[in-house]
Amino acid sequence: MFLKIMSSLDTQEKIKARAISLFNEHGTGSVSIGRIASEAGISRGHLQYHYANKQELIRAIYQDIAAEVLSNWEGDDKQPTVRHMAEMFVRQFHYVWKYRFLYREMVTLIRVDSELARRIRDNRARRIEAVIKFFRALARNRVLKKLRGEESLRYLVMITWIFCDNWLNFIEIQGNEINSQTLQEGYDHIIEMLYPYLTRQARESIYESYELIRFPQPLT
């Protein structure tokens, strides 16, 4: 019984991994359930035993992404430093790259699946509040200067958020290759935006935080 469950989980992991890779390469619209099954080395029927259709499969993948992302964002506000801020941004860029099909097609995907939309909205709302909490902690820890008010802080978080979610899409639309350099440039843009709000000490420690960004894991 235990072995059977393990093997079933392994199959699901294999299906999801192949699906993510195919969706990233060709888009969710052009990849059929049959093709995913074939590339995962199983029958279509076997795949559909686990996921009845593409919508169910995409929901399952999203559930994994959400769990991965949320687990890593836990307690960010306990480390309100420039170094940790850099780690957060670079981590976010990595997620956007790893699950790029989701960030490219998000609006389309949520328009055709209201249950997926609900999950994405709930998770984003929680994460946005977590980032706002982190920025407040940065202000308390004198990384950020005193802002003009709670609304200013919220606006800065939104701009940073929209930028992080869309920087790699932007590069792709420009027709440029995405590599470690691209992530560094994305980070440079964020720093440029936050620069007027950084304290003198924070500006000085930006250079330390660079080490993190120059050597990301290779993008695959």
Q: Reduced to 3 states, what is the DSSP secondary structure of residue 94?
A: helix
- CB-CB neighbours of 123 under 10 Å: 17
193 lies in the site for its own copies, by CB under 8 A? yes
Site residues for its own copies, 128-187, by CB under 8 A, read 148, 152, 155-156, 158-159, 161-163, 165-167, 169-170, 172-175
Which one among 42, 60, 69, 110 touches its own copies, defined by CB under 8 A?
A: 110
Residues 14-43 that bind its own copies (CB under 8 A): 27, 29-30
208 binds its own copies (CB under 8 A): no
Binding of residue 70 to its own copies (CB under 8 A): no
d(CA 90, CA 95): 9
Count the helices and strands in the chain (H runs, E runs): 10, 0
Nearer to its own copies, 27 or 34 (CB): 27
Take residue 75 and report the two structure tokens written for it: 């307690």
The pair of structure tokens assigned to 190 is 């964020």
75: left (phi over 0), alpha (psi -120 to 50) or beta: left
- Can you give the binding site for its own copies, defined by CB under 8 A? 27, 29-30, 104-108, 110-112, 117, 120-121, 124-125, 148, 152, 155-156, 158-159, 161-163, 165-167, 169-170, 172-175, 188-189, 192-193, 195-197
